[in-house]
């Protein structure tokens, strides 16, 4: 299972990096455990139109990322129960995504495992979608992440993930 833990803004400007940046988390059994080697798991961000169609060439930035392993705690997982404290998760941060044209969109995160036995080279493990958001040609006010989203972003920065700062 994959979940969006930091959502892109409800509105943004065309050709401007989305803030807050998209972050997804997975707790797939077998991926997150004792083995610290997660280099064979990656995530891809895909832009969808209002009808759920994939839009090629309209999403810019790094659309494919590898994960960062972190222990969860209640403050960083979007308000999970105390039973989630200390659980291991793999986080996927997309720090520089932008949409080229105005419109209403959704982002989908696809998590893959490199599988050398698969003729396609990778196996889709899970998917999650953001809430819809609107992109305008003109500038719009920057949005602030929620408290739980800020906590996730702060912890990712502490792990060395390069993330944008809050726009002025």
- Token couple for 155: 């912890």
The reported pLDDT for the residue numbered 140 is 94
Q: What is the mean pLDDT of the chain?
A: 87
* CB-CB neighbours of 32 under 10 Å: 20
pLDDT band at 6 (very low <50, low <70, confident <90, very high): very high
Look up the pTM and report it: 0.86
The reported pLDDT for the residue numbered 27 is 83
Q: Tell me: the pLDDT tens digits for 87-100?
A: 789 999 999 999 99
Q: Tell me: the pLDDT tens digits for 33-47?
A: 544 444 588 999 999
The reported pLDDT for the residue numbered 87 is 74
CATH class of the region 2-158:
mainly beta
Higher pLDDT pick, 26 / 82:
26
The reported pLDDT for the residue numbered 78 is 41
Rg of the chain over CA atoms, in angstroms? 16
Those residues with Cβ within 8 angstroms of residue 4's Cβ, 6 or more apart along the chain or in another chain? 22, 23, 24, 109, 128, 129, 130
Poorest-confidence range of 49-53, 77-81, 102-106, 145-149?
77-81
The reported pLDDT for the residue numbered 122 is 86
Tell me the C-alpha to C-alpha distance, in Å, between residue 133 and each of 28, 56, 68, 100, 105.
27, 18, 26, 14, 5
């Amino acid at each position: 299972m994959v979940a969006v833990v930091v959502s892109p803004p409800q509105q943004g400007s065309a050709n401007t990096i989305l803030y807050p940046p998209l972050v997804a988390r997975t707790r797939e059994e077998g991926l997150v455990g004792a083995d610290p080697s997660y280099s064979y798991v990656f995530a891809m961000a895909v832009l969808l139109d209002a009808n759920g169609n994939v839009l090629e060439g309209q999403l810019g930035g790094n659309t494919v990322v590898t994960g960062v392993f972190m222990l969860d705690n209640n403050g960083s997982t979007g308000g999970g129960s105390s039973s989630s404290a200390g659980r291991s998760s793999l986080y996927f941060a997309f720090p520089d995504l932008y949409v080229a044209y105005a419109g209403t969109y959704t982002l989908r995160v696809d998590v893959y495992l490199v599988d050398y036995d698969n003729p396609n080279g990778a196996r889709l493990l899970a998917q999650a979608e953001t809430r819809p958001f609107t992109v305008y040609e003109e500038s719009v006010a920057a949005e602030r992440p929620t408290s739980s989203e800020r906590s996730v972003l702060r912890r990712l920065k502490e792990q060395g993930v390069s993330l944008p700062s809050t726009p002025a």
